[in-house]
Amino acid sequence: MAERSRTFLDRQQNLLRLLLAFFSIIGATSSDGTEVLRRYERVRFRSERLLASVSADAAPSPLPLSSSSASSRVYHVTDYGADPTGKIDSTAAILRALSDAFRPPSNRSLITGITDLGGAELNLDGGSYLISSPIALPSSPAGNLKIHSGSLRASNNFPTNRYLIELWPSQSTSSYNYEYITLSSLMLDANYRAGGIAIVNSLRTLIQSCYIVHFASDGIWVQDGHETLISASFLGQHITAGADPGERSFSGTAIRIDGNDNSITDIVIFSAAVGIQIAGQANIITGVHCYNKATGFGGTGIYLKLPGLTQTRIVNCYLDYTGIVAEDPVQLYVSGSFFLGDANVVLKSVNGVIKAVDIVDNMFAGGGGVDIVRLDETGGAFTSIDQVVVKRNSVNGMAVRSTAARASLRANGTIWTIDFSPVLLFPNRIDHVQYAMITSSGFPNHALRNVSANRVVIESDVAVQATVHVEVEQCQGSMA
């Protein structure tokens, strides 16, 4: 039996030696010196590795198919010499693999000006790679590419003003730089020096199932472009799980969006000064859990920084001791979310405009009596107010603020005064009043006599024992 195994190993070695000799002939006779030579080098590398394994009496296994064969568009960075143990710098090797992946298989295109790479994959082979400069996509506009399955860690000399992965060409002649680039199953460690991912003027980009940590600037930065989808990922400047003693020193922004029509879904942000900052229109945030730096320490969960053009939907999120700030919000929708630990919504005046804002059907829990929605008018009062709805929120341990309220008062007399100022959001503003008077003695004449300072005064012509029910609303504007 042992002799038979030895004969089999000898045959395997002879076969591999013949293959290497054949590849050597191909390499020596290659006339163009480019693509054929590349294929030869990569297949030779794999064959030599397998030959070493067989020579060491390892269990025989089939010869792996080369990723560089004409039928494959999967590029393994280890075939290019990248070190999956992270002991040596793998930047050059990964960029060589990326350059090959960017060679188009045909003349097809996606949107005009964007070459179709046919679904090419840059496979990180489950390794952890040390890099000293960004893994930047080539400047030639292209798309339909996936980078996945591994870890990248910034070296101690990584440039501090860059990002580990950059969809950010040095020059571009296209309307969009890239289209349909997928970044998946990646761990990115910026080593407190740089950012995680930069996406500039790109179309239909996917970031999914990523873990981005130790960023000094942004975990993810999106500028311009269109339709970046960020989902099912974790981001934190420091790897922690809450109650971190260094929380006051958290800095950076986990996700910064400077563009329109993007989606952030099912994300956990566990440390940063700002969880999500948005300066763009028509973005949506759903299922996000922010427990980055607490509001009490100067942090913000979600910051909407586009005065007058907010157009943002925040739905089914969890603001954990860190709240939402919106500058001059116009068309802002916050619903179905949970605010814990006195986290709240702050509407901040920049130019005094607030319009078409809905903060409805949320849950607020705390213990400090903080207003669930607060106006920040330190930069000037809100003067242009229209269609603001804050109501139907469930509150425990915090102060209710609403644009709709109702109350009842039973008294014997001619004047009934009900003060709504502890509840109503805007001072000295009631747009609509509806009341009913119920009495068991007589039919007095009565009327609404005064509405000021969020107080409603109802008066009758004779003294009577009566109960008055009053409902008021603010800022309904054109909404009936």
pLDDT of the residue at 43: 52
Among the residue ranges 3-17, 63-77, 364-378, the one predicted with the least confidence is 3-17
Instruction: Summarize the confidence of residues 216-244 as an average pLDDT.
Output: 97
Distance CA 65, CA 43 (A): 9
**Amino acid of residue 209:** S
Instruction: Summarize the confidence of residues 370-377 as an average pLDDT.
Output: 98
Instruction: Summarize the confidence of residues 224-236 as an average pLDDT.
Output: 97
Quick check: 25 pLDDT over 50? no
Nearest of 103, 102, 80 to residue 90 by alpha carbon: 80
Instruction: Summarize the confidence of residues 1-28 as an average pLDDT.
Output: 50
What pLDDT band is residue 63 in, cutting at 50, 70 and 90?
A: very low
Quick check: 215 pLDDT over 90? yes
Q: Domain residue spans in the chain?
A: 74-396, 404-473
Residue-wise pLDDT for 338-360, tens only, equals 999 999 999 999 999 999 999 99
Residue-wise pLDDT for 8-20, tens only, equals 445 555 554 555 5
Nearest of 139, 152, 138 to residue 188 by alpha carbon: 152
pLDDT of the residue at 30: 44
Higher pLDDT, 175 or 120: 120
The total number of residues shown for the chain amounts to 480
Helix axes 2-29, 35-55, angle to 10 degrees: 160
Instruction: Summarize the confidence of residues 361-384 as an average pLDDT.
Output: 97
| DSSP designation for 168 | -
What pLDDT band is residue 59 in, cutting at 50, 70 and 90?
A: very low
Quick check: 249 pLDDT over 90? yes
Instruction: Summarize the confidence of residues 257-284 as an average pLDDT.
Output: 98
pLDDT of the residue at 49: 46
Q: Are 476 and 469 in contact (CB under 8 A)?
A: no
What pLDDT band is residue 475 in, cutting at 50, 70 and 90?
A: confident
- The alpha carbon torsion through 336, 325, 276, 361 (nearest 10 deg) reads 0
CB contact set of 98 (below 8 Å; sequence gap of 6+) = 75, 122, 135, 137, 138, 147
What pLDDT band is residue 442 in, cutting at 50, 70 and 90?
A: confident
What's the predicted TM-score (pTM) here?
0.86
Quick check: 62 pLDDT over 50? no
What pLDDT band is residue 29 in, cutting at 50, 70 and 90?
A: very low
pLDDT of the residue at 175: 86
Instruction: Give the Cα-Cα-Cα angle 208, 142, 178 (nearest 5 degrees).
Output: 50
Distance CA 258, CA 262 (A): 10
Buried b (16+ CB within 10 A) or exposed e, 127-140: bbbbbebbbbbeeb
Quick check: 48 pLDDT over 90? no
Residue-wise pLDDT for 136-179, tens only, equals 999 999 999 999 999 999 999 999 999 999 999 977 667 899 99
- CA distances, 129 to each of 41, 99, 120, 185 (Å): 21, 18, 20, 14
Distance CA 293, CA 343 (A): 12
pLDDT of the residue at 174: 72
Tokens of 176: 């969009």
Quick check: 3 pLDDT over 80? no
| DSSP designation for 141 | -
Instruction: Summarize the confidence of residues 192-199 as an average pLDDT.
Output: 98
User: What percentage of the chain carries pLDDT values higher than 90?
Assistant: 81
Distance CA 10, CA 160 (A): 53
Strands 432-439 and 404-419: unpaired
DSSP characters for 400-460? --BSEEEEEEEEEEEEEEEE-TTTBSSTT---EEEEEEEESS----EEEEEEETTEEEEEE
Tokens of 127: 């390794």
Higher pLDDT, 15 or 453: 453
Instruction: Summarize the confidence of residues 277-294 as an average pLDDT.
Output: 98
What pLDDT band is residue 5 in, cutting at 50, 70 and 90?
A: very low
pLDDT of the residue at 41: 53
Q: Are 195 and 218 in contact (CB under 8 A)?
A: yes
Biggest alpha carbon–alpha carbon distance for the chain: 119
Higher pLDDT, 35 or 252: 252
User: What percentage of the chain carries pLDDT values higher than 70?
Assistant: 84
Among the residue ranges 38-47, 99-108, 427-436, 448-457, the one predicted with the least confidence is 38-47
Tokens of 107: 């003349």
Distance CA 300, CA 277 (A): 9
- CA distances, 351 to each of 125, 178, 259, 277, 306 (Å): 52, 36, 21, 19, 11
Quick check: 290 pLDDT over 70? yes
Instruction: Summarize the confidence of residues 65-93 as an average pLDDT.
Output: 85
- The alpha carbon torsion through 278, 280, 286, 288 (nearest 10 deg) reads -10
pLDDT of the residue at 19: 52
Instruction: Summarize the confidence of residues 311-332 as an average pLDDT.
Output: 98
Instruction: Summarize the confidence of residues 319-328 as an average pLDDT.
Output: 98
Sheet holding 274-278, edge to edge: 135-136, 163-167, 195-200, 218-223, 253-258, 274-278, 300-304, 324-327, 345-348, 373-376
CATH of 74-396, one of 3.90.550.10, 3.40.50.1970, 3.30.420.240, 2.160.20.10: 2.160.20.10
How many CB atoms sit inside 10 A of residue 225's CB? 24
Distance CA 398, CA 175 (A): 49
